[in-house]
Amino acid sequence: MSTFPKAVIFDLDGVITDTAEFHFLAWKQLGEELGIEVDRELNEQLKGVSRLQSLERIIAAAPEQRVLPTEELQRLAAKKNVHYTQLIQSVSPDDILPGIDTLIKELRIGGIKLAVGSASRNAQFVLERLELTGAFDYVVDAANIKYGKPDPETFIHAADYLNVPYEACIGIEDSAAGIEAIKRAGMFAVGIGSKESLRQADYLVPTTNYLDMITILAKFSQWNSEA
């Protein structure tokens, strides 16, 4: 087994840029309209999860049981997306989270392939706003993924496209669903966040500031030699 990774698959929202906060704000406002409180704890369960599934989790958190027809669910999800797309109009290269630019550049110099594995149908737009479209060898199109995170399909699909064995891939995620997806794909999982939410991560840092290529490579190599 190689002790050197061949590809790194980045999540977008909450890893490359702080759009996770915009998703939260948009869900919170929709929740208020529905009389359901979307707090940070509930939000942890929405991270990485598709738009419709997130809405279903919010509805399930209502104090009383609610059953909404599919058309109503779709209308509400579309409404949240209108708000979210307004919020991301202002995204610029200044919004790339600390440490990400350097990490991307260093991995490139190291000859490691790079992909984005996002659940968001707005991923291409956000990457354009960040002026990062050319930085990746592949961007998973969420519209072509049948099973969202925590299913491993997003990561498997990226690795297959890049023609890299799964155990030679590193996934970077800020969501519990995403870390589970990486692990189910048989890859090395770097988590950004708290131990409480990202228990399954192989290597955890509190924020992107702490992402450092040399350390990540060393942790990967250690994981690989233990496997």
Please list the active-site residues: 11, 13
E strand or H helix at 190? strand 188-192
Size of residue set near Mg ion by CB under 5 A? 5
Is 131 in a helix, a strand, or coil?
Answer: coil
x/- site string to Mg ion, residues 2 to 31, per CB under 5 A?
---------x-xx-----------------
175 binds Mg ion (CB under 5 A): yes
Task: Mark 123-138 as b/e (b = at least 16 C-beta within 10 Å).
Answer: bbebbebbebeebbeb
Q: Of the candidates 121, 160, 207, 209, which one interacts with ligand BG6 according to CB under 6 A?
A: 121
Q: Of the candidates 9, 38, 46, 187, which one interacts with ligand BG6 according to CB under 6 A?
A: 46
157 binds ligand BG6 (CB under 6 A): no
Give the type of residue at 133: T
CA distance 110 to 7: 10
Alpha-carbon dihedral angle through residues 67, 120, 126, 81, given to the nearest 10 degrees: -10
Residues that bind Mg ion (CB under 5 A): 11, 13-14, 174-175
Residues that bind ligand BG6 (CB under 6 A): 12-13, 20, 23, 46-51, 54, 81, 118-122, 142, 175
